[in-house]
Amino acid sequence: MKYKELIAKMTLEEKASLMSGKDFWQTQDIKRLGINSMFLADGPHGIRKQAAAADHLGLNASIPATCFPTAATVANSWNVELGEKMGEYLGEEAVAQGVNVLLGPGINMKRNPLAGRNFEYFSEDPYLAGKLAAGMIRGIQSHGISACVKHFAVNNQEERRMAIDTIVDERTLREIYLTAFEIAIDEGKTKTVMSAYNMLNGAYTNENTHLMREILRNEWKYEGVVVTDWGGSNDRVAGLIAGNELEMPTTAGETNEEIIQAIKTGKIKEEVLDENVDRLLDLIFTTEEALLEPHKEIDKEKHHRMAQTVAEESIVLLKNEDKILPIQKGKKVAIVGEFAKEARYQGAGSSIVNPTKLDSTLECVKECGFETIGFEAGFDRYGKKSQKSIDVACALAKRADVVLIYIGLDEVTEAEGLDRQTMQISENQIELLNALYQVNKNIVAILSAGAAVEMPWINKVKGLVHGYLSGQAGAKAILRVLSGDVNPSGKLAESYPIRYEDTPSYYQFPGKEVSVEYREGPYIGYRYYDTANVDVLFPFGYGLSYTKFEYSDIQVAKDAVTFKLTNTGGMAGSEIAQLYVGCKSTNIFRPKKELKGFTKVFLNPGASKTVSIPFDNKTFRYFNVKTNSWEIESADYEILIGSSSTDIRLVDVIAMEGTEAPLPYVKAKLPSYYSGKANNVSLEEFENLLGSKVPESKWDRTKPLGYNDTIAQCQYAKGGAARFAFKLIHFSHWFLRKIGKRSTANLIMMSIYHMPFRGVSRMTGGVINMPMLDGILMMVNGQFLKGLRHVLKERRKKMEGEKSKTTMVQAAKEM
Ligand code: BGC
């Protein structure tokens, strides 16, 4: 242990006090020993440091900071160096605001297009997400503070996010859901990891010894700190045993006491606590050094320009019929769409940043060289229909050479705590687009959304530019792509299915009661579409440019693939070349091909470059559930170089000698996985993959409700008052939506409906302690009066305890 001597000077109470927050954002200090508090702040695409009222829902304002494009956007740049640069800027701002730990990046897999936090995550591919996250972490931590990669792990839905049990087989877990974390830890060297709210195969992630001890600590040799997600601690002692140093936010000492009691009664050894304290002290001491200097003001303009650069590299050109883009000088342009006035540039929830400034299309359009003839909102941002708005927009569009229409999802639809209901954009936008098409065929749509949307309207537009959620400078970045000042070079980091029904997790998303079963196994995103031969609208890795690239001269060596790229078009630009590997043996089921490397190359017109993509320890590996380790199968492997996952330009084959591990599967028992058609796997076959029985996925409606049941389950409670409370909550949600207060309605879902009872205590900073919660549960379970008496008694006890604590502190001060 690094801080053995210091730890020896601490009392048991002091050590335990470090294991949970002092308040919502800060850790506990011990002044007499020179141990200061750390400040943790969201993240991930800007600093959300709250100076006054604190919350994790995006309600109260934070100190202004640069709002960079969200992870889903940056991922489209496929540029690790750019991500690292952005990380450096984020780190600088964190230091300027006195933040020790920046709560990002978020690297969960985009398993399903409707998952509410997709906009905060990079990709459906773990290799791409891991590489980009590692770069960002290196950038943030180059300032001496800590990044915090989150949410570890398999946190892929918002429905019941604090209680849901994710059932996933070991191989899929390793290959799909953990690989990005593995890269972030190995190559990014993150100093902090945030555990996820959910359970993984029956145990809360922060208590899950397989995840936290066997994989994170023993296999990956992680020596940093694990912090719970806010309010995500269930059994504090079990968490400590698994190596979860810090619980956030404060529990007013309640869970510290549980640790103390566990040590006093011999349930755990004091050394377990000491080890956790040691790692936490290291984080405190190493990050506070970075904050010793007086805080420098950041250069806001420079940071704004950086946000613009990141956006420019991340915008994806999806369609360009008749070369409608770039828009020729002198064309009369009509601008339509609410989002042109007020940009749609980030998502809602804990990641919300209060930007230092915000570009708007209408303000930037002239300076970007466009000749505009006017603007019409054309639709209501939150979906209200209006024929009049459509009519005036059409009248404007009639007079234009080109119509730019700004459409997409609104910020209430893409929010933390809530999955989307459909993959469509709102109907009023589609109706507007259809009407515009009747009066003008030269339409370019600019799309803002942090995840895939369905596009039944695609044939109505000639040009389609996807800006994703491009941050505070995104509006200008998009205009520069439209004008041709910037040649688009972004490519999709996720697949766009034609219809939601095509998605591999369609039948298994979201889990609505006890659990969610990942029956599709490793077949998420392109891994499924590609292997099962399902057509998509836009494939993974797809994106157009204003120039053209040619691929030639592939050469495969033992440790790398080399090829030539030539810009054969008329404009300078960058190409993202992608390396996919496909195993030719059919002994072990696999996706047809998987991303194993990529490079982004800038080329002037006519220029060529020979580029190399190295192989690494992930290129040929698969996880073998029999040997419980990574293995290589002896086989021929296709080395595929593509401009997207479906546009493969060069192919070669390499024979690899494997590790000769025993075959892990009986083919006949896993037909869907061997065929890749894994979107509707039977329970029996999933159990064959899992190697065990699937736990009951439905609630036992006869059982009394406990700490980890959610408030939504009050609908089945024995207590009439609880059922009434549920009806009230349900009604308020319905009513608020009906009167158009969708963001308040969302808050009900996010902070009440899906909250487990234990959260009532964990999220109120001890205002309601666990013994009081026991009383509440009695009331819920039909013992109203007994429960009420219990609550009042425990409340009295708590207040007396607090009073005597204050008197003791007072007395100590007076001595
Ligand atoms: C979110 C985390 C966030 C934390 C603190 C939680 O609800 O899941 O991503 O960092 O709140 O705001």
Q: Write the pLDDT tens digit of every residue in 551-589.
A: 999 999 999 999 999 999 999 999 999 999 999 999 999
Angle at which helix 770-780 crosses helix 720-738, to 10 degrees, equals 90
56: Cβ below 6 Å to ligand 1? Answer: yes
Give me ligand 1 centre to Cα 431, in Å.
37
Model confidence over 484-512: pLDDT tens digits? 999 999 999 999 999 999 999 999 999 99
Question: Which residue, judged by its Cα, is nearest atom 12 of ligand 1?
Answer: 56
Local confidence band at 745 (pLDDT 50, 70, 90 cut-offs): confident
Mean pLDDT of 39-53: 91
pLDDT of residue 809: 64
Give me ligand 1 centre to Cα 687, in Å.
33
Give yes or no for residue 613 having a pLDDT over 80.
Answer: yes
**pTM score of the predicted model:** 0.97
pLDDT of residue 345: 96
Which of 162, 350, 351 has the most ligand 1 atoms within 8 A of CB, as the residue to mutate?
350
- Two structure tokens written together for 807: 């008197």
Residue given tokens 């120039």 in the structure block: 547
42: Cβ below 6 Å to ligand 1? Answer: yes
Local confidence band at 746 (pLDDT 50, 70, 90 cut-offs): confident
117: Cβ below 6 Å to ligand 1? Answer: no
Give me ligand 1 centre to Cα 562, in Å.
42
d(CA 580, CA 598): 9
Question: CA nearest 520: which of 504, 533, 507, 498?
Answer: 504
350: Cβ below 6 Å to ligand 1? Answer: yes
148: Cβ below 6 Å to ligand 1? Answer: no
Which of 62, 229, 751 has the most ligand 1 atoms within 8 A of CB, as the residue to mutate?
229
Residues making up the chain, counted from first to last: 815
H/E stretch holding 735 reads helix 720-738
Distance of CA 713 to the CA centre of its chain: 27
155: Cβ below 6 Å to ligand 1? Answer: no
Give me ligand 1 centre to Cα 569, in Å.
46
Question: Which residue, judged by its Cα, is nearest atom 2 of ligand 1?
Answer: 229
Give yes or no for residue 16 having a pLDDT over 70.
Answer: yes
DSSP-based three-state secondary structure for 327? coil
Give me ligand 1 centre to Cα 105, in Å.
11
Question: Which residue, judged by its Cα, is nearest atom 9 of ligand 1?
Answer: 350
303: Cβ below 6 Å to ligand 1? Answer: no
Which of 230, 352, 751 has the most ligand 1 atoms within 8 A of CB, as the residue to mutate?
230
pLDDT of residue 283: 98
Give me ligand 1 centre to Cα 56, in Å.
6
Return the ligand 1 atom nearest residue 106 CA. 9
Return the ligand 1 atom nearest residue 350 CA. 12
419 catalytic per annotation: no
Mean pLDDT of 616-638: 98
d(CA 141, CA 87): 8
150: Cβ below 6 Å to ligand 1? Answer: yes
d(CA 513, CA 701): 11
518: Cβ below 6 Å to ligand 1? Answer: no
- Torsion angles phi and psi, residue 311, rounded to 5: -60, -45
Residue 639 and residue 652 in contact, taking contact as beta carbons nearer than 8 Å:
yes
Residue 472 and residue 67 in contact, taking contact as beta carbons nearer than 8 Å:
yes
Return the ligand 1 atom nearest residue 103 CA. 10
Local confidence band at 53 (pLDDT 50, 70, 90 cut-offs): confident
Give me ligand 1 centre to Cα 160, in Å.
15
d(CA 640, CA 581): 6
Question: Mean pLDDT of all residues in the chain?
Answer: 96
How many percent of the chain have pLDDT more than 90? 91
177: Cβ below 6 Å to ligand 1? Answer: no
Residue 159 and residue 419 in contact, taking contact as beta carbons nearer than 8 Å:
yes
48: Cβ below 6 Å to ligand 1? Answer: no
- Sequence-distant (6+) residues with CB within 8 A of 186 are 134, 220
Bridge-based pairing of strands 549-556 and 560-567 is antiparallel
Which of 26, 48, 56 has the most ligand 1 atoms within 8 A of CB, as the residue to mutate?
56
Bridge-based pairing of strands 402-408 and 371-376 is unpaired
Residue 390 and residue 322 in contact, taking contact as beta carbons nearer than 8 Å:
no
Model confidence over 143-174: pLDDT tens digits? 999 999 999 999 999 999 999 999 999 999 99
Question: CA nearest 713: which of 745, 754, 747?
Answer: 754
Model confidence over 394-432: pLDDT tens digits? 999 999 999 999 999 999 999 999 999 999 999 999 999
**b/e code 485-512 from CB counts within 10 Å (16+ = b):** ebbbbbbbbbbbbbebebbbbbebbbbe
**Of 783 and 55, the one with more pLDDT:** 783
Give me ligand 1 centre to Cα 39, in Å.
14
Q: From the candidates 125, 165, 169, 229, which is the catalytic residue?
A: 229
227: Cβ below 6 Å to ligand 1? Answer: no
How many percent of the chain have pLDDT more than 70? 99
Q: How many CB atoms lie within 10 A of CB 328?
A: 12
Give me ligand 1 centre to Cα 350, in Å.
5
By the 10 Å C-beta count (0-12 exposed, 13-18 middle, 19+ buried), 809 is classed as: exposed
229: Cβ below 6 Å to ligand 1? Answer: yes
Return the ligand 1 atom nearest residue 48 CA. 12
Give me ligand 1 centre to Cα 229, in Å.
6
**What does the DSSP assignment read for 36-56?**
PP-BEEB-SSS-B--SSS--S
Give me ligand 1 centre to Cα 192, in Å.
14
Return the ligand 1 atom nearest residue 42 CA. 10
d(CA 793, CA 581): 65
**b/e code 410-444 from CB counts within 10 Å (16+ = b):** bbbbbbbbbbbeebbbbebbbbbbebbbebbebbb
Return the ligand 1 atom nearest residue 56 CA. 12
Give yes or no for residue 295 having a pLDDT over 80.
Answer: no
Q: Kindly tell me the sign of the dihedral angle through the C-alpha atoms of 783, 784, 785, 786.
A: positive
103: Cβ below 6 Å to ligand 1? Answer: yes
Residue given tokens 């505009």 in the structure block: 372
Return the ligand 1 atom nearest residue 120 CA. 9
How far apart, in Å, are the Cα atoms of 347 and each of 67, 72, 492, 686? Answer: 11, 11, 19, 35
161: Cβ below 6 Å to ligand 1? Answer: no
Return the ligand 1 atom nearest residue 148 CA. 10
- Sequence-distant (6+) residues with CB within 8 A of 801 are none
**What does the DSSP assignment read for 499-562?**
SGGGSTTGGG-S--SSEEE-TTTT--THHHHHHTT--EEE-TT--B-SS-EEEEEEEE-SSEEE
Give me ligand 1 centre to Cα 249, in Å.
10
Give yes or no for residue 812 having a pLDDT over 70.
Answer: no
Give me ligand 1 centre to Cα 123, in Å.
19
In one-letter notation, the amino acid at residue 672 is: S
Beta bridge partners of 556: 561
Local confidence band at 54 (pLDDT 50, 70, 90 cut-offs): confident
230: Cβ below 6 Å to ligand 1? Answer: yes
Question: Which residue, judged by its Cα, is nearest atom 5 of ligand 1?
Answer: 56
Give me ligand 1 centre to Cα 336, in Å.
35
Return the ligand 1 atom nearest residue 151 CA. 9
Give yes or no for residue 762 having a pLDDT over 90.
Answer: no
End-to-end CA distance of the chain: 36
